[in-house]
Structure 1
C-alpha cells in the first residue's frame, strides 16, 4: 500500500465574527475548492467505526500519539461517489487513505456481510475486513456537517470551515435522508482546519491567528459520541 503522505494539521474553534473576517480575507488569496460548486460549500455525511471498547474514541480522548479511525462518507447526497477512509495520526502528523465503495458494498458492510471484502484488490478494504474481524470494528454513529473549503497552492494548503455539526445518535442508516439528527452542542461550533505539507506560508499563518486563538483538538466523532 505504500507509506501515507504525512501532513500537518491545525484546528481552531472559531466564532461567527471570526468566520466572517476569515472568509473576507480568504477570498483574496485562496481559491474555493472546485468540488464545492456554486455555493462554495457542500454537505458531508460520515459513518464512523469503533469497537466494543471504544478504541477509536478512547485513543482520541487520551491523546494517543499514533492512532487511526475508519469512516464511510459521501457528499451532497450523491451516492455515486462514496468513499471508505482511514484517517490517522503518526507523531503529531496526520494522514488519510481512501477507497471507492458502491452503495451496495456499503450496505453489506453495515449489515455485517463481510466475506466479499477479503477478495478485494484494494488494500484498504482488506485492512478493514481484518480489523472488523480481529478488532471487532463496527459502524458506530453518523455525523453530518457543512464544509466550506479553500485551497492555497504554495505549501499544498487546504483550509476548511465546518459548521452545522449534527449527530445521527447511534443510527447506522447512512442513506436515510430523512433521518432525525441532533446538534452536537447547544451552540453551533465552527471549526477551522488547516492542513499543509512541509511548511505553512506566512500569509496563511497570519490570517488564521484570529486574535491568538489557541489550537483545539475538536473531534466531530468524539462530540457525536457524547450522545451514545
Structure 2
C-alpha cells in the first residue's frame, strides 16, 4: 500500500560520482536496495507548479521557515494511463511533510486541464488530499511550470526500516514539453559528474552512517533541484552543468 501521509527529516549532500561509488560500497552491509526498479535504480519524473509571481521559487530560494511545493510525479516510462502521484511537499526547517494521492496520469491531466470542479468525481486514492491540492492551487494560482528528471538509486536500512538513502544522478529539466509521458529528455542543471545524496530518517541519522559520511568527506549542504532548474530555464545564458560552488550552500538549511 502506498503511504499517503508521512513526516521525516532530510539531510542533503552534493557529492562526486567517486564518493557515490565508495559510499555505496561502505554502506552495503547496512542497507538493501529499494524494491522498485532494478537493484533500486529507476527514473523519476516530476511536473512542478509555480505561481505567476514565482512564490514557490522565492519561498525556496529565501529558505523561509515554512515552504511548500506541488508536483505530479511518475516513475520510469509511464504511459498516459499509468500510475501518477500528486504530492504537496511541505518543509519546516529540516522536517518534511508529504501529503499525496495516487491516480492515473490521464485522470491527473483531466483535473488540471478541465473545468470540472466536483472533486469527488475524480478517480483517486484520497479525495481529502485532492481537496488540499485544489486549495493550494487556487491560493497560489499554480500552473504547470517545468519537468525535472533524474536517475535515482534508492536504499533502505536493513536494521532500521525508517532509514532511506537516495542518490540522484543525471539531473535534467525541461519546460518545452510538460507532458510526463513524453520521454526523459532535458537539459542538465547540475554537473553530470555530481550526485545529489539525501539521507531520510524519522528522528536522527545513525552514528555508523554519520561516521562513513565524515570519512568520505561528504559535506552537508542545501541543494534545491527546483531553484537550480528554474534558474537554468529562465536564464539560458547560465552554463549547462552548474558547478558544485554554484549550488552548494555550506551548513545546510
Normalization by structure 2: what TM-score?
A: 0.80
Return 69-78 or 115-124, whichever deviates more: 115-124
Q: How far off is 1:171 after superposition?
A: 3.2
Find 2:96's aligned residue among 94, 97, 121: 94
2:109 corresponds to 1:107: yes
Distance in structure 2 (CA, Å) of the matches to 1:145 and 1:160: 11
Aligned twin of 1:12: 13
Query: For the residues of structure 1 that align with 2:45 and 2:139, how far apart are their CA atoms?
Result: 27
Q: CA 1:193–1:207 in structure 2 vs 1: closer, same or farther (change >3 Å)? A: same
1:43 aligns with 43
- Find the aligned partners of 1:160 and 1:196 in 2 and give their Cα distance: 12
Matches within 5 A, 1:21-100: 21-37=22-38, 39-79=39-79, 80-100=82-102
Q: Which residue of 1 aligns with 2:203?
A: 198
Report how many aligned residue pairs link the two structures.
223
TM, length-normalised to structure 1:
0.89
Check conservation: 1:70, 1:86, Cα contact below 8 A: yes
Encode CA deviations 1:182-213: one digit per residue, 9 max, x unaligned: 11134443011001012221112212225444
2:172–2:185: 8 Å Cα contact kept in structure 1? no
Shift of 1:70: 0.7
Q: Give the Cα separation in 2 of the matches to 1:112 and 1:165.
A: 31
Kept in 2: contact 1:159–1:193 (CA 8 A)? yes
Deviations 1:162-199 (A, max 9, x none): 0110001353122212x641111344430110010122
Gaps spanning 5+ residues in structure 1: where?
A: none
SS at match of 1:105: helix
- Distance in 1, matches of 2:129 and 2:215, equals 38
Deviation at 1:214, TM superposition (A): 2.8
Superposition CA RMSD, Å: 2.1
* Rounded Cα–Cα distance in structure 1 between residues aligned with 2:168 and 2:185: 20
Task: State the alpha-carbon separation in 1 of the partners of residues 47 and 215 from structure 2.
Answer: 32
CA distance in 2, matches of 1:166, 1:89: 23
Is residue 166–residue 183 contact of structure 1 (8 Å, CA) maintained in 2? yes
Partner of 1:144: 149
Deviation at 1:131, TM superposition (A): 2.4
Mapped partners of 2:212, 2:37: distance in 1? 22
* Alignment match of 2:229 (pick from 212, 224, 228): 224
Answer with 163-172 or 14-23: which moved more: 163-172
1:158 aligns with 164
